[in-house]
Amino acid sequence: MALAFDEYGRPFIILKEQEQKTRLSGLEAQKANISAGRAVSRILRTSLGPKGMDKMLQSPDGDVTITNDGATILEQMDVDNQIAKLMVELSRSQDYEIGDGTTGVVVMAGALLEQAERLLERGIHPIRIAEGYEMASRIAVEHLECIAQKFDFGPTNIEPLVQTCMTTLSSKIVNRCKRALAEISVKAVLSVADLERKDVNLDLIKVEGKVGGKLEDTELIYGITVDKDMSHPQMPKQIEDAKIAILTCPFEPPKPKTKHKVDIDTVEKFQTLRQQEQKYFDDMVQKCKEVGATLVICQWGFDDEANHLLMHQNLPAVRWVGGVELELIAIATGGRIVPRFQELIPEKLGRAGLVRERSFGTTKDKMLYIEHCANSRAVTIFIRGGNKMMIEETKRSIHDALCVARNLIRNNFIVYGGGAAEISCSIAVEAAADKYPGVEQYAIRAFADSLDAVPMALAENSGLQPIETLSAVKSQQIKENNPHFGIDCNDVGTNDMCEQNVFETLIGKQQQILLATQVVKMILKIDDVISPSDY
């Protein structure tokens, strides 16, 4: 550590408890940061692509997660290093923004850092490198727009969307039935999409999972599932043309919130209160019945007596339904959430074509399906699978596929996958580099080299010769001036991604490049790390 001394040789104390802190500065700090960032990206590198491997993560409580979703791996990795945390953030923001490509963005950032280290060794100032990267990323993003293709689909022609989702799913463990899952995802997104506003509210798609059955049993329900059963075991299990009262008030004796005291001091009072209580329950149930409800869904519990009265009046009811589910039910059935019995009117009832209770397996798990809703905008994807890990992983994969479909609806431009877009960008950036005078030129060239990292990792994970394959594809792209050539990961025999139907969304790719560049710039700008040393 660099220390200042006064004329008598005593050190100046600048920082509080200076001697207990470790400090890295200058080139040393940058190198340490870079190597930390690269370490993270190296972990994810093997998960890239359709033949990528999974990681097994054991949480502090001993639960096991198996996944190859970049964001999930990093989230659960228990990272300590500050720079490594930045990389985790990077992948998370890609997940929030786009939902897919979380692995790719980290690999890309790792490659950029690796190149930066070499430039640093040559004595180029980190800020110059950062600026060069910035310019290069602009070139790459512009180039992506040039090679992007418009992508036509409509509510009737969903095939292109399915193909894109399949590309996403093929890198996950669920690729055994990617076709079915892709179709489910696309149908789900389309049924909630607002095609005119080009927007999709993913909150309307609920992804539910239940252990057991096969992955193939996964289904799309045009409606909602609730993990609850009827409040009374003898209520009907199936209701057609249900009119649903959605309540947030309990079927319980009222307890005014204001401070009060009701004292019983005479027999008469005791009796009147008793009668009032009985009448109160009767009124509640009667009120529901009067407005014509055939199903009551309530956020709170029921008193035993009320429960029986409901049963008696042939009014099936569900209790303890969570707030989020309640809202979804309200949206789907077109009903209104009613907070007080007095406000219950027929117009506020929701409608559903079919409500039924289904049980699974040998355990007595029951679920409530609310289908054919009046406003069928809300849908549920119901996942079945061999075990909990499988279901969690399928959920993550479906989430990715849903995001991809949504992005396509928002912006229907695509680029080709399999590393084709990266290779094409790399060529463009390389060519553009020569036009820039000054040191930045080197940084821009380095950027072009790091773009090659993604296809290189793809080839490596697929068991191909990385350098050989990459150079072959690159020369093919230049020779034929066709940005469709990528790495043939699945050994299909052609590396024309157009024929293989491997697409990615334009905004997803652009976001990857921009985010990776930003983070790398940030890391490069750090030249001093002060941290308390271990004690």
Partner 1 sequence: MEQLFALVLPENGFIWAPKLQLLSTTLYSMAIEKILKDDASEEKGERARMASFVGAIAITDLVKTTLGPKGMDKILQSTGRGHEVTVTNDGATILKSLHIDNPAAKVLIDISKVQDDEVGDGTTSVVVLAGELLREAEKLVAAKIHPMTIISGYRMASECARNALLQRVVDNKENAEKFKSDLMKIARTTLSSKILSQDKEHFAQLAVDAVMRLKGSTNLEAIQIIKKPGGSLKDSFLDEGFILDKKIGLGQPKRIENAKILVANTAMDTDKVKIYGARVRVDSMSKVAEIEGAEKEKMREKVKKIMAHGINCFVNRQLIYNFPEELFADAGILAIEHADFDGIERLALVTGGEIASTFDNPESVKLGHCKLIEEIMIGEDKLIHFSGVEMGQACTVVLRGASHHVLDEAERSLHDALCVLSQTVNDTRVLLGGGWPEMVMAKEVDELARKTPGKKSHAIEAFSRALVAIPTIIADNAGLDSADLVAQLRAEHHKEGCNAGIDVISGSVGDMAELGISESFKVKQAVLLSATEAAEMILRVDEIITCAPRKREDRM
Site for partner 1 in 61-120 (CB under 8 A): 61-62, 64, 66, 68, 73, 76-81, 83-84
Query: Taking contact as CB under 8 A, which single stretch among the options 127-135, 246-254, 320-328, 367-375 is the one that binds partner 1?
Result: 246-254
Q: Which of 95, 100, 229, 400 is catalytic?
A: 400
Is the CB of 132 or the CB of 418 nearer to partner 1?
Answer: 418
Cα–Cα distance for residue pair 104/114, rounded to 1 Å: 15
The nearest distance, CB 262 to partner 1, in angstroms, is 4
Return the number of the residue (4 or 262) whose C-beta is nearest partner 1: 262
Stretch that binds partner 1, among 13-21, 232-240, 286-294, 367-375 (CB under 8 A): 232-240
Distance CA 79, CA 62 (A): 17
Query: Under rule CB under 8 A, which residues in 162-201 are in contact with partner 1?
Result: 173, 176
CB of 90 to partner 1, least distance (A): 14
Asked if 355 and 239 touch (Cβ cutoff 8 Å), the reply is yes
Catalytic residue among 72, 102, 167, 333, which? 102
3-state secondary structure of 506: helix
Distances (CA, A) of 3 to 13, 206, 528: 9, 59, 14
Does the protein bind partner 1 through residue 274 (CB under 8 A)? Answer: yes
Stretch in the footprint of partner 1 (CB under 8 A) among 8-16, 36-44, 190-198, 338-346? 36-44
Cα separation of 508 and 124, whole Å? 31
Q: Would you give the binding string for partner 1 spanning residues 364-393, x where CB under 8 A is met? A: x--------------------xxxxxx---
CB of 269 to partner 1, least distance (A): 9
Cα 35 to chain centroid distance, Å, stands at 28
Least separation, in Å, of the C-beta of 462 and partner 1?
Answer: 8
The DSSP code sequence of 235-256 is S-SEEEEEEEEEE-S-BS----
Q: Beta-strand (E) ranges in 135-215?
A: 149-150, 193-194, 199-200, 205-211
Q: What is the DSSP string of 435-484?
A: T--STHHHHHHHHHHHHTHHHHHHHHHTTS-HHHHHHHHHHHHHHHT-TT
**Nearest approach, Cβ of residue 271 and partner 1 (Å):** 7
Q: Which stretch binds partner 1 (CB under 8 A): 218-226, 230-238, 336-344, 430-438?
A: 230-238
Concatenated DSSP letters for 370-434? EEEESSTT-EEEEEEESSHHHHHHHHHHHHHHHHHHHHHHH--EEEETTTHHHHHHHHHHHHHHT
Considering the complex, state which of residue 17 and residue 268 has its C-beta at the smaller distance from partner 1: 268
Indicate the residue among 277 and 327 with the shorter CB distance to partner 1: 277
Footprint on residues 276-335 left by partner 1 (CB under 8 A): 276-278, 280-281, 303-305, 307-309, 311-312
Residue 212 binds to partner 1 (criterion: CB under 8 A) = yes
Q: Is 505 a catalytic residue?
A: no
Say whether 362 is catalytic: no
**How many other β-carbons are positioned within 10 Å of the β-carbon of residue 338?**
21
- Active-site choice (103, 294, 333, 469): 103
Nearer to partner 1, 326 or 457 (CB): 457
Q: Catalytic residue among 67, 69, 168, 469, which?
A: 69
What is the closest distance, in whole angstroms, from the C-beta atom of residue 186 to partner 1 in the complex?
A: 24
Whether 400 is catalytic: yes
Cβ atoms < 10 Å from Cβ of 279: 11
| Interhelix angle 267-290/304-312, nearest 10 degrees | 40
Closest approach, Cβ 43 to partner 1, in A, equals 7
Interacting residues with partner 1 between 406 and 445 (CB under 8 A): none
Question: Could you say which of 238, 359, 475, 494 contacts partner 1 (CB under 8 A)?
Answer: 359
Q: Is 258 in the site for partner 1 (CB under 8 A)?
A: no
282 vs 327, beta carbon nearer partner 1: 282
Q: How many residues bind partner 1 (CB under 8 A)?
A: 83
Stretch that binds partner 1, among 248-256, 335-343, 431-439, 442-450 (CB under 8 A): 248-256
Spatial separation of the C-alpha atoms in residues 134 and 514, rounded to whole Å: 9
Binds partner 1 by CB under 8 A, chosen from 264, 324, 431, 467 = 264
Q: Known catalytic residue: 241? A: no
Contact between 263 and partner 1 (CB under 8 A)?
Answer: yes
Provide, rounded to whole angstroms, the least separation between the CB of residue 233 and partner 1.
5
Q: Does 46 bind partner 1 (CB under 8 A)?
A: yes
SS3 state of residue 150: strand
The token pair at 439 is: 């040191």
Contacts of 458 (CB under 8 A, 6+ apart): 48, 49, 418, 419, 487, 489
CA distance 352 to 346: 14
CB of 377 to partner 1, least distance (A): 33
Q: How far apart are alpha carbons 473 and 502 in whole angstroms?
A: 16
Residue 427 corresponds to which tokens in the numbers above? 């060529």
Instruction: Indicate the SS3 state at residue 213.
Output: coil
Q: Which residues are catalytic?
A: 69, 102-103, 400
